[in-house]
Amino acid sequence: MEVITFTKDTVLSDVHVHSSSKKHLMVRLNKVGQPVFRTHFKILWQNSTLESASEDCIIITDNEDKEKQRKDEGSLVFKATKLYDMQAIENLLDEDGDLEVQRRPQSPSDRDDTREYARDVVCPTILTIGSDGQIEEEECVNNKDVIKIEHTMATPLEDVGKQIWHGAFLLADYILSQEDLFRGCTALELGAGTGFTSIIMSTVAKTVYCTDVGDDLLEMCERNMVLNRTFTEQAGGGQIKVKELNWLKNQLCTDPENPYSWTEDDIAQFYDHTTVIIAADVFYDDDLTDALFKTLYRITHALRSNCIIYLSMERRYNFTLRHMDVTCDAYNHFRNCLNNFETTSNGKQRWSVQEIKPVFPQFFIYEREHLELWKMTATPLT
C-alpha cells in the first residue's frame, strides 16, 4: 500500500490527527497534485439516543416520532438549544466525568491496535484519481446528520485553508446553538478554507458569502458546497456564494476571468444586506492578522447596516529562542488588534469587544481547551 510521509515543512491540522487514520478516504489528486481526502463529520443533534459509536465520531440519531414529525413538516427543523440525551453524554465521559476524545498515539509503542498508524503515516483508500470534474449525483445524497468535507491532510503553510481547523468547529457550534441570532441573515465568512463553517451558517442564514483566496482552494470549497447541497437544502437554509476576498487587496475581485469574482450586483447585494461577519482560525501570522483587521475596518465602514463580527481563535503555544520560553505570539498580536479595533472609531460606529465563553453545546467532537470565541458589536455614532 502506498505510504505518504509528511515532511518537516508540512502543516497538519489536529482535526485530522484526532480522527482515526483508517477513516480518511483519499478521493482524488487536486490540480497541484495534492491528495484530497473526504471526511464525514457527524452532527450530534438534540433529544437523541445514542445509536452507535462509529469509527470517526459518534452517531446520534433522532427517534422515529421526531423523524415522522419532521417529514410531515416537509423539512428538517434544526433546533439547538438543548443538546444531548444525558444517557448519550454519559457514554462519552470517562470515570472523572471528562469528555473522552480519541488521542493520537505518542509513539509506535503506545499503539494498542495494530491497525492504528502513527501521526506521520496515512494509508489512503483511493476512490478515484482524476480531475476536479463534476460530482456524481449519488455523492450528493446526504445523510441529514453528516457533513462531507473534502480536504487535504497536510499542506505547506500557504495551503492551510485546505485543512479543517478547530476554530471552525467552535464557530459552527455557536451558530447551531444560537441559530435564532443568525436566522435569515446575510453573512460573510473570511478565510473560509474548506467552507465547513459557511455550510453550517447556511442552514440558518439567507445568504452566505463564503470567501477565501486562491482558485485551487476556492474550487475545493465550492465542491464541498455541492457535496452538502442536500444537507443544506433539507435544513431549509440559504444560498452560499463562494467568492474571492483577499485581505491584502483593497477591492473585491471583479476580474471576469476569475470564476470567483464579484459581479456588480453581488457587490451591491453584499454591502446592502450583510449584518454578520465570521472568521475561524485565521490568526496565525501577524501580517495577515493586520490585513484581516484592516479588511474588517474597510468592509464594516462600507456596509449599509451595523454588523456583528464573530472570530474564533486557537491559542497555539510554541517555544521560541527569542523569548527562551513558551509563548503565544500570534495570539498576543490578535488581542492587541482587538484592543485597537475597540479604541479606534471609524467615524460611523464604535466597537465593543466581548469574549463568548465556550460553554454552549457541542455538536462536534473536538477539544475546546485552547479555543476562544470573540464577538465585536458596533454601536452607531450619532
Ligand X SMILES: C[S@@+](CC[C@H](N)C(=O)[O-])C[C@H]1O[C@@H](n2cnc3c(N)ncnc32)[C@H](O)[C@@H]1O
Applying CB under 6 A, among 88, 288, 308, 353 the residue interacting with ligand X is 288
Applying CB under 6 A, among 282, 303, 330, 378 the residue interacting with ligand X is 282
Closest CA to 15 of 377, 282, 364, 256: 364
Q: Please list every residue from 236 through 255 that binds ligand X, using CB under 6 A.
A: 246-248
Under DSSP, the state recorded for 155 is B
Evaluate whether 70 touches 234 at the Cβ level (below 8 Å): no
Give min distance, CB of 84 to ligand X, in A.
24
Give min distance, CB of 219 to ligand X, in A.
13
Distance CA 136, CA 47 (A): 33
Q: What are the beta bridge partners of residue 375?
A: 310, 354
Q: Name the residue nearer to ligand X (CB basis): 193 or 238.
A: 193
Q: Which residue is nearest to ligand X (CB)?
A: 161
Residue 173, CA atoms < 13 Å, CB-side half-sphere = 25
Residues in the chain: 382
State which amino acid sits at residue 108.
Answer: P
Name the 3-class secondary structure at 125. Answer: strand
Count interface residues toward ligand X (CB under 6 A): 22
Distance CA 244, CA 267 (A): 12
CA pseudo-torsion sign 11, 17, 20, 23: negative
- The phi-psi region of residue 308 (left if phi > 0; otherwise alpha if psi is between -120 and 50; otherwise beta) is beta
Site string for ligand X, 290-319 (x = CB under 6 A): -x----------------------------
Q: Name the residue nearer to ligand X (CB basis): 85 or 159.
A: 159
Q: Name the residue nearer to ligand X (CB basis): 50 or 309.
A: 309
Give min distance, CB of 249 to ligand X, in A.
8
Give min distance, CB of 247 to ligand X, in A.
4
- The phi-psi region of residue 191 (left if phi > 0; otherwise alpha if psi is between -120 and 50; otherwise beta) is left
Q: Name the residue nearer to ligand X (CB basis): 28 or 162.
A: 162
Closest CA to 192 of 240, 236, 144: 240
Q: Please list every residue from 63 through 122 that binds ligand X, using CB under 6 A.
A: none
Q: Name the residue nearer to ligand X (CB basis): 92 or 291.
A: 291
- 278 is a contact residue toward ligand X (CB under 6 A): no
Distance CA 57, CA 23 (A): 10
Computed on alpha carbons and rounded to an integer, the radius of gyration of the chain in Å comes to: 21
Q: Name the residue nearer to ligand X (CB basis): 26 or 245.
A: 245
Give min distance, CB of 309 to ligand X, in A.
14
Give min distance, CB of 322 to ligand X, in A.
23
Q: How far is CA 159 from CA 9, 214, 275, in A?
A: 12, 9, 29
Q: Please list every residue from 148 through 167 that binds ligand X, using CB under 6 A.
A: 160-161, 164-165, 167
- The phi-psi region of residue 74 (left if phi > 0; otherwise alpha if psi is between -120 and 50; otherwise beta) is left
Applying CB under 6 A, among 62, 173, 222, 281 the residue interacting with ligand X is 281
Under DSSP, the state recorded for 23 is G
Q: Name the residue nearer to ligand X (CB basis): 21 or 152.
A: 152
Cβ-Cβ contacts under 8 Å for 343 (sequence gap 6 or more): none
Q: Name the residue nearer to ligand X (CB basis): 101 or 248.
A: 248
Give min distance, CB of 103 to ligand X, in A.
21
Give min distance, CB of 169 to ligand X, in A.
8
Please identify, among the stretches 101-109, 187-195, 235-243, 321-329, the one whose residues bind ligand X according to the rule CB under 6 A: 187-195
Site string for ligand X, 188-227 (x = CB under 6 A): ---xxxx-x---------------xx---x----------
- Residues engaged in binding ligand X (CB under 6 A): 160-161, 164-165, 167-168, 191-194, 196, 212-213, 217, 246-248, 280-282, 288, 291
